[in-house]
Homo-oligomer: A and B are copies of this chain.
Amino acid sequence: MGREETELLTRTGPGTPMGELFRRYWIPALLAEELPCADCAPLRLRLLGENLVAFRDTNDRIALVDENCPHRGASLFFGRNEECGLRCVYHGWKFDVDGNCVDMPSEPPESRFKEKIKLKSYPARELGGMIWTYMGRPESMPGLTELEWAQVPDSHRYISRRLQECNYLQAMEGGLDSSHVSFLHRDAAHVSEKTAGSVLRGKGKGREFVQGDTSPKFEVREVEYGLLIGARRNADDDNYYWRISQWLMPWYTLIPPYGETPLRGHAWVPVDDEHCWVYNFSWHPARPLTREEITEMHAGGFHFEMTQGTNRPTQNKENNYLIDRDLQKSGISFTGIKGLAIQDLALQESMGSIYDRTKEHLGTSDMAIISARRRLIKAAQELQQGSAPPGLDSTSHRVRAVSLLLPKGVPFHEGAKEAMMAQPGTFFVSA
Residues of B within 8 A of A89 (CB): 183-184, 334-335, 343, 347
- A70-B359, A81-B329, A111-B215 known; 20 new pairs, CB 8 Å cut-off, are A41-B325, A68-B359, A71-B360, A71-B361, A71-B363, A72-B170, A72-B366, A73-B352, A75-B350, A77-B350, A80-B334, A89-B184, A90-B184, A91-B180, A91-B183, A92-B214, A105-B183, A107-B365, A111-B364, A116-B361
Residues of B within 8 A of A350 (CB): 68, 73-75, 77-78
Chain A contact residues: over half helix, strand or loop, or mixed?
loop
Please judge, given known A-B contacts A41-B325, A335-B78, whether A72 and B183 are in contact too, CB under 8 Å: no
B78–A337 touching, CB < 8 Å: yes
CA distance A365 to B335 in the complex (A): 55
Does A428 sit within 8 A of B, measured CB to CB? no
Q: Restricting to A321-358, which residues have a CB under 8 Å from any CB of B?
A: 321, 323, 325, 328-329, 334-335, 337, 343, 346-348, 350-352, 355-356
Number of copies of this protein chain within its complex: 3
A347–B75 touching, CB < 8 Å: yes
CA distance A214 to B108 in the complex (A): 8
Which among B39, B180, B184, B363 is the interface contact of A104 at CB below 8 angstroms? B363
Most buried by B among A90, A104, A184, A356: A90
Q: Which residues of A contact B (CB under 8 A)?
A: 39, 41, 68, 70-75, 77-78, 80-81, 89-92, 104-109, 111, 113, 116-117, 170, 173, 177, 179-180, 182-184, 214-215, 217, 320-321, 323, 325, 328-329, 334-335, 337, 343, 346-348, 350-352, 355-356, 359-366
Residues of B within 8 A of A104 (CB): 363
Please judge, given known A-B contacts A325-B41, A363-B111, A365-B106, whether A72 and B356 are in contact too, CB under 8 Å: no
CA distance A77 to B183 in the complex (A): 16
B335–A217 touching, CB < 8 Å: no
Please judge, given known A-B contacts A78-B346, A78-B347, A107-B363, whether A73 and B183 are in contact too, CB under 8 Å: no
Residues of B within 8 A of A323 (CB): 78
Question: 10 tightest CB-CB pairs across the interface, nearest first?
Answer: A75-B350, A73-B351, A92-B183, A41-B325, A105-B214, A74-B347, A106-B365, A89-B335, A90-B347, A73-B355
Interchain nearest-CB distance for A94 vs B (Å): 11
Please judge, given known A-B contacts A70-B359, A89-B335, A89-B347, whether A106 and B75 are in contact too, CB under 8 Å: no
Interchain nearest-CB distance for A412 vs B (Å): 18
